[in-house]
């Protein structure tokens, strides 16, 4: 069985949001079109406490883009974003949430971030997504969302590592690109790990 995973299509990652991804809102229509073709749709949702350790505001003298050690893991600092129960954490208003069967909230612990929809970055805690998919008989996943070079990439790499067949929908993703070309390099990394990279029009 094949499932669709929509990664972090949330207000704060849109061009108008707190952690804007250029052209991020373009993924919404692609996601909606894909969701019509799947009987099982899962969405991940960044869901941070207000004092999350990945927020630059929690580190005196540091700024978004700086690197720190957070719980033994190298961590990029970000603007405050996707704080639990705020509008920024909500899914984009145009996303067809009625098509979503299961939502995985991640990044809920103050002391560790969670790019992947499957595990926290320290890999000591899992979100339950893998168990859920396997309980539904899923052996293949199609993934799109935000952002290519962070949460999409690590969700894809974990899915491959867990034995799922994985397809990344390139036109359904956009990158942060802290360094120019990060998004393109992430697509190469995902393909090298064993994921297919397709346009939505190529998915059969």
pTM: 0.97
- Print pLDDT tens along the chain (204 aa): 999 999 999 999 999 999 999 999 999 999 999 999 999 999 999 999 999 999 999 999 999 999 999 988 999 999 999 999 999 999 999 999 999 999 999 999 999 999 999 999 999 999 999 999 999 999 999 999 999 999 999 999 999 999 999 999 999 999 999 999 999 999 999 999 999 999 999 999
* SS3 label, residue 44: strand
Residue among 113, 151, 158, 173 flagged as catalytic: 151
The confidence score (pLDDT) of residue 197 equals 98
Residue 151 annotated in active site: yes
What letter does residue 76 receive in the DSSP assignment? Answer: E
Cα-Cα-Cα-Cα dihedral sign, residues 131, 134, 139, 145: negative
Q: What digits encode the pLDDT tens for the residues 22-71?
A: 999 999 999 999 999 999 999 999 999 999 999 999 999 999 999 999 98
* Tokens describing residue 101: 């069967």
Residue among 46, 82, 106, 120 flagged as catalytic: 106
The confidence score (pLDDT) of residue 99 equals 98
Percent of the chain scored above 90 by pLDDT?
A: 99
C-beta neighbour count of 108 within 10 angstroms:
17
Give the residue ranges of DSSP H helices in 75-199: 129-135, 153-161, 182-193
Buried b (16+ CB within 10 A) or exposed e, 48-68: beeebbbbbebeeeeebeeee
Residue 153 annotated in active site: no
Residue among 8, 80, 149, 158 flagged as catalytic: 8
* SS3 label, residue 145: strand
Residue 8 annotated in active site: yes
């Amino acid at each position: 069985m094949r499932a669709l995973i929509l990664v972090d299509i949330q207000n704060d990652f849109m061009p108008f949001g707190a952690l804007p991804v250029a052209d991020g809102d373009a993924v919404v229509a692609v996601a909606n079109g894909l969701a019509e073709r799947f009987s099982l749709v899962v969405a991940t949702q960044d869901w941070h406490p207000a004092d999350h350790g990945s927020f630059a505001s929690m580190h005196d003298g540091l700024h978004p883009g700086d690197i720190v050690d957070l719980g033994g893991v190298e961590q990029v600092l970000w603007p405050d974003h996707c704080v639990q129960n705020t509008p920024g954490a909500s899914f984009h208003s145009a996303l067809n949430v009625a098509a979503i069967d299961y939502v995985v909230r991640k990044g809920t612990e103050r002391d560790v971030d969670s790019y992947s929809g499957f595990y926290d970055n320290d890999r000591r805690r899992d979100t339950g997504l893998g168990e859920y998919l396997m309980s539904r008989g899923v052996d293949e996943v199609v993934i799109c969302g935000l952002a290519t070079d962070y949460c999409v990439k690590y969700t894809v790499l974990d899915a491959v590592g867990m034995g799922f067949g994985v397809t990344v929908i390139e036109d359904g993703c956009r990158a942060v690109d802290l360094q120019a070309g990060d998004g393109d390099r992430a697509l190469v990394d995902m393909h090298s790990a064993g994921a297919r990279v397709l346009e939505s029009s190529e998915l059969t």
